[in-house]
Amino acid sequence: MANVLIVMSGGIAAYKVLDLIRRLRERGHTTPVVMTEAAQRFVTPLSVGALSNAPVLTELWDLDREREIGHIRLARSADVVLVAPASADFLARMAHGLADDLATAVLLATGAPVVVAPAMNPFMWEHPATQRSVAQLTADGVRTVGPEAGEMAERNEAGVGRLAETSALIAAVEEALGADRPLAGRHVLVTSGPTHEPIDPVRYIANRSSGRQGHAIAAAAARAGATVTLVSGPVRLADPAGVETHHVESARDMLGAVERALPADAAVFAAAVADWRVNAAAQKLKKGSGPLPTLELTENPDILATVSRSPQRPTLVVGFAAETEHVLPNARAKLERKGCDWIVANDVSQGVFGAETNTVHLVSAAGVEDWPTAGKDEVAAKLVARIAEALSGA
């Protein structure tokens, strides 16, 4: 699903955000949280972190995170930013573009939709200064949800100023996401990682795939609103948030999981599937007990070709070609041989496996697009955007 960055400013309504975090996570969203100093006077980072199961950040001047410009990374990773509760002071600071703490710096650095949920005393809400702040933020494209009318925390106080109900906050977040969720209502199937083909109970044939690119594609598709099924070989990566992940070992296991996941609107076969398997020994092979064992290889099923020719073939089938030489000629031949729609080709001779960046070529019947070297998350986002564009015209 989506990465919902929650910014908490100070106010008694901060305690309501704890339930909001829990509800958002139940819907598959990830919920990193930034807390202002004032917010920490009402609820603790420990309580928030226990519910969010994601980072809770409080300091702009964090040496470990800011060494890599952490506030910029945080801002860029958000699919939507929700400020809840938004106090009168925080609305004024946002409206004036201040950036003297982590919360306001992130808000200036993000390109994601921003939703604010004001919560304050009715007199503070109705004050002309607060209304000017809200008007300026609205003009800047910030969405507002609430406040609502009701009893205040102060004795004998009532009026407009209560934080919007959790259901309204979730609806506002998902409405904001809807503007940038081109795969909403689509099912995307992704494979990732290597396969392991056993030689005996303790040894196997494998390859160097880390699964980072395939997992990034699954996460990007989920952020774009798709229902995503990820079939992953053995990797040392966490399952992407909001993605239904199935773990497999061998190529035959992967094919079975893929076929069970169909139908799908699009399938991206980023896994580096072993081409052959061994007629595995029932017991561990021992050295020094006779002649060297001979490994008899059998060709594995071709998952990409099988799905490309399946009666349940997705509208768009994308394969990957990891090559060490003649990258484009081999990719073109693979495109024709497999019967898929696109091939994402790259040269893996220079240590791409496990690296943070990738240089790919998108090969289709229309020709070849050479994409510049980029982070694997960026490659994933670009590929998912192209998939959404293709499906919208299908």
Please check whether residues 209 and 344 belong to one and the same domain.
yes
Q: What is the pLDDT of residue 87?
A: 94
pLDDT tens sequence across 381-394: 899 999 999 998 76
Helix residue spans in the chain (DSSP H): 16-26, 45-52, 63-66, 70-77, 88-95, 102-109, 122-126, 128-139, 166-178, 212-223, 251-261, 303-308, 327-338, 376-392
CATH number at 104 reads 3.40.50.1950
Q: What is the pLDDT of residue 281?
A: 86
Please check whether residues 171 and 98 belong to one and the same domain.
yes
Q: Which of these three, 136, 153, 178, is where a domain ends? A: 178
pLDDT tens sequence across 130-150: 999 999 998 888 988 888 877
Q: Which of 207, 279, 300, 330 is catalytic?
A: 207
Q: Are 65 and 100 in contact (CB under 8 A)?
A: no
Please check whether residues 228 and 293 belong to one and the same domain.
yes
Please check whether residues 170 and 204 belong to one and the same domain.
no
Peptide bond into 118 cis (omega under 30): no
* Most confident region among 84-93, 348-357, 376-385 by mean pLDDT: 84-93
Q: Is the pLDDT of residue 323 over 60?
A: yes
pLDDT tens sequence across 245-286: 999 999 999 999 999 999 999 999 999 999 999 988 888 988
Please check whether residues 118 and 224 belong to one and the same domain.
no
| Separation between Cα atoms, residue 12 and residue 121, nearest integer Å | 10
Could you give the 3-state DSSP secondary structure of residue 221? helix
Residue 91: HSE in the Cβ half-sphere, 13 Å Cα cutoff: 30
pLDDT tens sequence across 236-247: 888 886 789 999
Q: What is the pLDDT of residue 347?
A: 86
Please check whether residues 160 and 230 belong to one and the same domain.
no
Q: What is the pLDDT of residue 378?
A: 84
Could you give the 3-state DSSP secondary structure of residue 54? coil
The average pLDDT across 22-28 equals 85
Q: Are 7 and 107 in contact (CB under 8 A)?
A: yes
Q: What is the pLDDT of residue 65?
A: 52
Please check whether residues 242 and 146 belong to one and the same domain.
no
Instruction: Output the average pLDDT for the chain.
Output: 88
Q: Counting every residue, how long is the chain?
A: 394
Please check whether residues 173 and 218 belong to one and the same domain.
no
Q: Which of these three, 146, 178, 210, is where a domain ends? A: 178
Q: Is the pLDDT of residue 2 over 60?
A: yes
Number of domains in the chain: 2
Please check whether residues 159 and 239 belong to one and the same domain.
no
CATH number at 258 reads 3.40.50.10300
Please check whether residues 257 and 378 belong to one and the same domain.
yes
Please check whether residues 70 and 169 belong to one and the same domain.
yes
Q: What secondary structure letter does DSSP report for 369?
A: E
What is the span of the domain harbouring residue 56? 4-178
Please check whether residues 167 and 201 belong to one and the same domain.
no
Q: What is the percent of the chain with per-residue pLDDT over 70, rounded to a whole number?
A: 94
Identify the band that residue 18 occupies on the pLDDT scale cut at 50, 70 and 90: very high
Q: How many CB atoms lie within 10 A of CB 308?
A: 19
Q: Which of these three, 178, 203, 230, is where a domain ends? A: 178
207 is catalytic: yes
Identify the band that residue 349 occupies on the pLDDT scale cut at 50, 70 and 90: confident
